[in-house]
């Protein structure tokens, strides 16, 4: 009987420990058509943090989601749904991100606010998520402050891997 209980306990522990829990940083890079790269350090969670006011209450029940949280100076969180167990899809408001002398803003340093949509195929080995060639769209809502008609739509590719 003890052997059976031990077997079930070990099996439970092994299968319960397969979710990413934000302990190791990931490198997330947004690459714009001009070749400019915005590197970000993020944490990945497969469970919503209950204390986060940015995640809707109904998302706490989502088991097919991945939560990406910025570990950088500009805090933001993005909930991405796992589609068909190999595609991540997410959309979220972005807070003011600072871009320095970027091509899409005519070489100006800007603080962009708007909506980001991200989509990408992922692979998962153990707890590690990897996205090689995802796509993103940023709808830049406050571009008129910089003399660019709003909303300006910016597209590009993104990649993410554990450091």
Structural domain count, the chain:
1
Round to whole Å and give the CA distance between 132 and 75. 23
**Residue-wise pLDDT tens digits, 71-114:** 666 667 787 888 776 888 888 876 667 777 677 777 788 888 88
Q: Are 87 and 93 in contact (CB under 8 A)?
A: no
pLDDT value at residue 131? 92
pLDDT value at residue 135? 95
147: left (phi over 0), alpha (psi -120 to 50) or beta: left
Nearest to 136 by CA among 104, 97, 93, 90: 90
pLDDT value at residue 95? 63
Instruction: Supply the range of the domain harboring residue 105.
Output: 2-162
pLDDT value at residue 160? 93
Tens place of pLDDT per residue across the chain (163 aa): 677 676 555 655 555 555 666 678 889 998 988 888 888 888 888 776 554 555 554 444 456 778 788 766 666 778 788 877 688 888 887 666 777 767 777 778 888 888 888 999 998 888 788 999 899 998 888 888 888 888 888 899 999 999 8
pLDDT value at residue 158? 93
pLDDT value at residue 87? 86
């Amino acid at each position: 009987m003890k052997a059976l209980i031990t077997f079930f306990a070990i099996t439970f522990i092994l299968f319960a420990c397969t979710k990413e829990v934000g302990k190791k940083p990931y490198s997330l890079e947004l690459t714009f058509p001009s070749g400019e790269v915005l590197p970000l350090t993020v944490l990945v969670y497969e469970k919503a943090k209950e204390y986060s006011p940015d995640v809707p209450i109904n998302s706490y029940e989502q088991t097919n989601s991945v939560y990406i949280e910025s570990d950088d100076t500009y805090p933001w969180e993005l909930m991405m749904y796992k589609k068909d167990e190999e595609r991540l899809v997410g959309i979220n408001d972005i807070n003011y991100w600072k871009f320095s002398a970027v091509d899409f803003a005519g070489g100006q340093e800007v603080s962009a606010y708007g909506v980001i949509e991200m989509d990408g195929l992922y692979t998962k080995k153990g707890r590690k998520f990897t996205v090689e060639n995802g796509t993103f769209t940023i709808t830049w809502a406050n571009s008129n402050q910089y003399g660019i008609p709003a909303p300006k739509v910016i597209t590009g590719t993104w990649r993410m891997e554990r450091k």
